[in-house]
A = this chain, B = another copy of it.
């Protein structure tokens, strides 16, 4: 069809990596443009003038920003390998928990590197309460999407990042004891080649942790 798909992202942005995973799961060929967020390309500024953030998808002459908006657009534009469930109620539940991760869990995780002492303990407690909700959501399921990886799994990849960060910093928020179902899910998805391709490569993980610890303001969505 002569379709052109370009994706502006940044290697350490979980929002960029979730879009990468969605593109690969849907088997959509694309051209990747790595953005230096301290020196954004003119096309990024043109494509996402509202937020000036990655990721941005450019499909032919149309640009879409905001990772979850992009994923819904892709799922509606290319029907192969659906990412969202087909049933309206299951779709609603996937969107509800995805929003929960983005609006509740991510801000709490962001507080982790910026707090100490009692405040940090309270943050960890809050994260545990939020993870409990996701643990319950995995009951009786292989993936958040049921029998196969889907929309909520893509958003929940942040749990894999949390697990990887814990392995590097030694601060383990997640363990097989306190969240067995999430832990099993992490092991299951990390065995998938397509997921591994969308994680930060091992040799860059130290850089990533340093970047994450000093980045106070989100530059992606």
Chain A interface (Cβ < 8 Å from any Cβ of B): 50, 62, 64-66, 69-70, 72-73, 76-77, 88-89, 91-92, 95-96, 99-100, 133
B92→A50 contact, CB < 8 A: no
A10 to chain B, nearest CB (A): 19
A103 to chain B, nearest CB (A): 8
Q: Give how many copies assemble into the complex.
A: 2
A91→B72 contact, CB < 8 A: yes
B50→A72 contact, CB < 8 A: no
B133→A69 contact, CB < 8 A: no
B99→A66 contact, CB < 8 A: yes
B100→A88 contact, CB < 8 A: no
| Chain B residues whose C-beta falls within 8 Å of the C-beta of A73 in the assembled complex | 88-89, 91-92
A24 to chain B, nearest CB (A): 20
Closest to A96 in B: B69
| Chain B residues whose C-beta falls within 8 Å of the C-beta of A100 in the assembled complex | 50
In the complex, what distance in Å separates the CA atom of A45 from the CA atom of B77?
A: 37
In the complex, what distance in Å separates the CA atom of A34 from the CA atom of B62?
A: 43
10 tightest A-B CB contacts, nearest first? A76-B88, A73-B92, A69-B95, A77-B88, A64-B92, A69-B96, A62-B89, A69-B92, A73-B88, A66-B96
Checking B72, B95, B96 against A92 with a beta-carbon cut-off of 8 angstroms, the contacting residue is B72
| Chain B residues whose C-beta falls within 8 Å of the C-beta of A133 in the assembled complex | 50
Contacts A62-B89, A66-B99 supplied; 15 other A-B pairs, CB < 8 Å? A50-B96, A50-B100, A64-B89, A64-B92, A65-B96, A66-B96, A69-B95, A69-B99, A70-B92, A72-B92, A73-B89, A76-B88, A76-B91, A77-B88, A77-B89
Closest to A76 in B: B88
Would you mind naming 5 contact pairs between A and B with Cβ atoms under 8 Å apart? A50-B133, A64-B89, A64-B96, A66-B99, A73-B91
